[in-house]
Amino acid sequence: MEARIIRHFLLLPFLVSAWVVTAQVDASEPNWDRALALRAINRADLEVRLKPLYQMARAGQSAVLLESLLAIERDPDLPAPAGDYLHFRFAVGLGDLDPNTVAPGVLEYLSTYEARTLVAHEEYPDVAVPLFNIPAATAGARNLWERQQAVTQAEELLQGPADSWVNAYLAANRTGRRGFVDALEIASDAELRELGRAALEQLDENPELTLLAALAGLNSGDFDLLRQSLERGGGPELSQALQVAARELSAEACIDLLDHALRQGSDTEAALAIAHLGRARLGEPAVQQLLFDTLSDRELGAAAALTLGASPDPEVQNRLREIASQDSGLAKDRAAFAIQSQRIEGEAEL
């Protein structure tokens, strides 16, 4: 029982941001000690109560389910932490069921559930927060359902024109777009290339298509499509696309992409390429040389210095010291900056 509680406790950091949204904070003081609350949960036989809730949900018995949840909340013999935990476990488990399995009334109840177990915030002891945030867990299940439905929609749209798929992607919200991206995993190489080219046609007006176009090129093995996506893309998704490329591409492909970005990309693309591709393949001599050649660049030298400074390779550090010992020049200043950045980072880790 305790292991299961700990496992579900791991979800809490992902729900912290929702605490503010749901306003589940007591203005007075915490009413439970965290350790005592967990002991109260351990002493209760909760699995016997939890299993029937899912059975009711799967059977579509939403009215009975809602009454059962209310009965748990009102049960005078059930400690408040155990009642909150049961609601939390049930809300988290909704994500494993089919979308819209339960009636809107059940979701509304869980979304507005006021936790009765309030403990001290780990960083701000005077602030009371719910031990289990049921509204946030419910929102997480709803988002998962929405993402699953977007996957289904995207898979169906793969049978039609690529521009219709791209337009539907643009019309979707953030969660829906994640579902569309998930659907790329089942697309054929030909479908991916069509989607990528359709995204490229709208990329100038819609930089939020950057990640989509880049993934289409990356997953289909179309390096030219990937490169064009990064060249013409922008916004936060450019960094995401380069991060994925650094993780998925071979060392040779990373080097080619970095070299191309340094020679023909914008300063933004080149700096991000250094941060992602350069750092990911910093052990490659070719990457090291590209970065050393960039030290004297007025716009990109600082980015190259930061990346070189992070290298644990003694040869790289020796070369930086040699350049820093020169009489003058941007390369000298950047090399000194790289050495200093490594020293500061090392002291911060002590």
Let me know whether 60 and 190 are in one domain: no
**pLDDT by residue for the chain (350 residues), tens digit each?**
444 443 444 444 444 434 433 434 444 688 899 999 999 898 777 888 899 999 999 999 999 999 999 999 999 989 999 999 999 999 999 999 998 889 999 999 999 999 999 999 888 888 999 999 999 999 999 999 999 999 999 999 999 999 999 999 999 999 999 999 999 999 999 999 999 999 999 999 999 999 999 999 999 999 999 999 999 999 999 999 999 999 999 999 999 999 999 999 899 999 999 999 999 999 999 999 999 999 999 999 999 999 999 999 999 999 999 999 987 889 999 999 999 887 665 544 44
Let me know whether 140 and 167 are in one domain: no
- Choose one of 199, 215, 231: the last residue of a domain: 231
Strands (E) located in the chain: 118-120, 128-130
Let me know whether 95 and 138 are in one domain: yes
What is the rounded distance in angstroms from the CA atom of residue 189 to the CA atom of residue 184? 10
Domain membership of residue 35 (yes or no) is yes
Let me know whether 136 and 190 are in one domain: no
Residues in the chain: 350
What is the rounded distance in angstroms from the CA atom of residue 210 to the CA atom of residue 240? 9
What is the rounded distance in angstroms from the CA atom of residue 288 to the CA atom of residue 258? 11
Domain membership of residue 176 (yes or no) is yes
| Structure tokens given for 247 | 């993780």
Whether this prediction's pTM lies above 0.85 is answered by: no
Residue 167 structural domain:
158-231
Let me know whether 99 and 8 are in one domain: yes
Q: How do beta strands 118-120 and 128-130 pair?
A: antiparallel
Q: How far is CA 339 from the centre of its chain?
A: 32
Let me know whether 173 and 85 are in one domain: no
Let me know whether 45 and 95 are in one domain: yes
- Choose one of 175, 202, 231: the last residue of a domain: 231
Let me know whether 131 and 222 are in one domain: no
For the chain, how many structural domains are there in total?
Answer: 2
What is the rounded distance in angstroms from the CA atom of residue 225 to the CA atom of residue 246? 16
- Choose one of 144, 179, 206: the last residue of a domain: 144
What is the rounded distance in angstroms from the CA atom of residue 99 to the CA atom of residue 80? 29
Cβ atoms 296, 331 nearer than 8 A: yes
What is the rounded distance in angstroms from the CA atom of residue 135 to the CA atom of residue 187? 35
